[in-house]
Structure 1
């Protein structure tokens, strides 16, 4: 009899979530996400999986973001045929996001193949295609929050609202190998209490092991009140000084919808009638429709607002939806008065690149960074104060004012992570994933020093670490790191 958990992604870094649960020789994946960041990071998506795809019985998917779902088409391409259990809203969002990812993979392969042809080298194939996406979408099994379901022999799961994006779930897994019974709770990506649109993350009382994200384990976000004041000041300064456009690189799912809601709520207070708000992202537009469709999942304030303003939906009002490429290009001829929300959120691709090309070098423009920026991405370079940035092959001086508005983050900060963990009875063993090493080390230190939160035992997972779940509450590693390969 055996039960093990091996960590094959989001270890010492934020992206690429992928954890292999094995019970009596049968294998199940928690997430199968894409690695994001610089070119070298993303090249790792082409490396072989550390397991045999056909041997995976099922996948349990926490939410739709690409760093959690993005390699599912590749998994199916390599022979996985089992069910993918996830929340109903996540299934709807994945239908949009994975198709968009396939399109980007195709475009990236085409660009690289032009360069390879010039060097006389063989062409490459896209990581996966739209046909691969269609194949994997047929495997999705939509669930609701609170539903108990056996997803593999010896493993049952219950989805709880994680409050991160629409459909995001933290997972309660009951594991039984015939000799031992253990309960593991996987946070997925945890949201924040009091944020607009979504309900607050749920708490869980008991676990034998907590697997928790740590994206902002070394940081405290600004309060919601201070964040709103900061945004108001940015817009007020831009108006009073007759400045240029405001660009907001934003994730198409979650952040874009939150911004639309805020712009509707505070249109008068922020004097936004002087601005034209443009959502320049076909994927974000489609995701917004999914948000509207899943209206019952929203928090009470959002639902009350919608009921009080029939025919003036807060995610659809006072905004121009920019669908076509020609419409997007036309925005580059307007040098003042635009608030452009566009992807990608880390400035690695998408239409935001074109808008940066036309606005980044202009001192009268503003760039609002309002989401996590992975190491190696252009967005991270802007946050870190780079003076020049290469965009679409052109080296541009960074003359626009860069604003980092961390209070809009959809990830729990250090205090919120500790508070969520603190609801567990008896401080169960804790393993951190989904965070950079520095962030994890500081969070572990804070947990160790605070007697109210101190886990029985704790660690940050490393790539290839394999944990013997039967030995809990002891964290017994069967092998660690490179030994697993």
Structure 2
């Protein structure tokens, strides 16, 4: 009896993060990526939920790249029984040592911080999703392979990796199994990307999975020289305001791109030699990996690029805290979506200052703190504190490590013919639908699928995929802003709104009215629950 190749999507379906694609052939099972969900608190809550499979029965993982939304659940996978190899490029393996360990430390530190919060006194403590020790154990299972060389992660399934042009070590994954050819794009880089060649790959597949992060966005063509001119203008504008320029940045790749451009601008005399603080131990470690692979990188013209006199790599917490008194500097800190790490500390100390500038240089997932700030919030809640947003908020799109709409369509077209189905993954609903319509109008795939998390498909040779399991219906509210975003927005403005009621008695009535709404809803729920059990 012929074995069917099947695909189940456990993440990055109608959302950008949590990439995890399960392929099975008979009793063989591999994962392409095993990433962390990032965004709203509801979405992040999925990270602690049960896997949609038994980790002990997974034979191998093929990892497209080291970003946490693709690799960040590997420590938990290993802690729950996965013993196989994690196949990836050598640069990805080098980066994982630091990326996963840092993720483990963040899990432990953030959990300890949440448990210490006064508003949680007396409640059951949280446990970290995984520990630094779990993360190091996962890194120990990494198995490097060369680009474009076939390997067999499990008997009956062979694979090879192709440059994806996204970040250092990133790859697309080609699979051959059960007479079927499949390509998973991973994350694809744009044209004119610093450090890396444009994405590559073969053509003629049965099924293709393509990321869709910017499926609804067409950027103006931008050279590296043009990008530097935009950055120059932003830095000069921020310094003219007199405060700090705070840049939430991803420790891996985005930090190194910014340092490359800032170094070149300083070298050319285009911007003054102001101090630049890289407040991320992970960014420091990732930068050393870049230096290790310097011979493989494009645009790396000066050996001392990352060693400018004005560049200060901040390691200790004490050094980070001392930046509270700095003004007129550039402060780069992770995480890029402001969801964890030292950037939250710098936002608390700079967002309320009119002379400060916050510059976003990367994608901000729906529901993330970065997205809330970027969309114009007047107040935000950070680690239990209400913070007024008075700083100038700016954004540069030209640093994206993702292909835009036109580049995605070009990549899909270059994979033709696609005899079966084109799956559009790793995108929010608007991006997916825009890309789907264009791909359909250009007849780029036999059938075009925008799957949901939890759906399973049979992948036959030279024929459309057949859905054999429906997706999870309980995730609609998680894929975007959730009630906790709304709560934070409401509570940060509540005191101000109440203070506008001049009469003390009327203000008290307003508080009582709000309490009655909550009490009536609680009473309604109790009655409804009681009727259900009678």
Return the TM-score normalized by structure 2. Answer: 0.84
Q: Match of 1:403?
A: 394
Deviation at residue 115 of structure 1 after TM alignment:
5.1
Instruction: Give the corresponding residue for 1:478.
Output: 468
- Contact 2:242–2:327 (8 Å) recurs in 1: no
Gaps of 5+ in 1: 307-311
Describe the SS at the equivalent of 2:402: coil
Residue aligning to 1:144: 146
Aligned to 2:242: 243
Deviations 1:307-353 (A, max 9, x none): xxxxx5212224111111121111110222x0111101001121111
Per the alignment, residue 228 of structure 1 pairs with 228
Say which of 191, 209, 212 aligns to 1:211. Answer: 209
Distance (Å, rounded) in 2 between the aligned partners of 1:117 and 1:357: 19
Unaligned regions of 5+ residues in structure 2, if any?
476-534
> Deviations along 1:24-68, whole A, 9 cap, x unmatched?
121111111011112222111110101011110111111100110
3-state DSSP class of the match of 2:76? Answer: helix
Q: What residue in structure 1 maps to residue 526 of structure 2?
A: none
Aligned CA distance change for structure 1 residues 313 and 447 (closer, same or farther; 3 Å): same
Instruction: Name the SS for the 1:174 alignment partner.
Output: strand
1:339 to 324, 330, 343: 330
Contact 1:236 1:270 in 2 (8 A): no
| Deviation of the 1:160 alpha carbon | 0.9
Q: What is the CA–CA distance in structure 2 between the aligned matches of 1:379 and 1:258, rounded to whole Å?
A: 20
Cα deviation, residue 374, structure 1 = 0.9
Match of residue 87, structure 1, among 67, 89, 92: 89
Structure 1 distance, partners of 2:237, 2:221, is 21
Alpha-carbon distance between aligned partners in 1 of 2:273 and 2:474, rounded to the nearest angstrom: 58
Query: Over aligned residues, Cα RMSD in angstroms?
Result: 2.0
- Specify the SS of the correspondent of 1:348: coil
Of 384, 397, 414, the residue aligned with 2:405 is: 414
Which of 319, 322, 342 lines up with 1:327 in the alignment? Answer: 319
**Residue 356 (str. 1) matches residue 347 (str. 2):** yes
Equivalent position of 1:443 in the other structure = 435
* Cα 1:472/1:480, change in 2 over 3 Å: farther
Stretch moving more, 456-465 or 57-66? 456-465
Q: Structure 1 residues 477 and 351 mapped into 2: Cα distance closer, same or farther (>3 Å)?
A: same
* Cα distance in 2 between the residues matched to 1:147 and 1:31: 19
- How far apart, in 2, do the equivalents of 1:333 and 1:168 lie? 38
In the TM superposition, what is the alpha-carbon distance from 1:484 to its structure 2 partner? 13
2:259 is matched with: 260
Where does residue 309 of structure 1 map in the other structure? none
Bigger mean CA deviation after superposition, 2-11 or 358-367: 358-367
The answer (yes or no) to whether the contact 1:199–1:297 under 8 Å persists in 2 is no
Mean Cα deviation higher: 263-272 or 200-209: 263-272
Please tell me whether residue 184 in structure 1 is matched to residue 186 in structure 2.
Answer: no
Q: Which protein shows a greater Rg?
A: 2
State the Cα deviation string for residues 379-411 of structure 1 (Å, max 9, x = none).
Answer: 001221111112233222211111111111001
Pair 1:231–1:285, CA change in 2 (3 A): same
Q: For each residue in 1:234-286, what CA deviation from the matched residue of structure 2 results, as whole angstroms up to 9, or x when unmatched?
A: 223334x3521111100000100010011112225563324211111110000
Equivalent in the alignment of 2:297: 298
Q: Distance in 2 between matches of 1:234 and 1:294?
A: 30
Counterpart position of 1:389:
380
Structure 1 residue 206: Cα displacement: 2.1
Asked if 2 retains the 8 angstrom alpha-carbon contact of 1:458 and 1:475, the reply is: no
* C-alpha separation in 2, matches of 1:116 and 1:327: 26
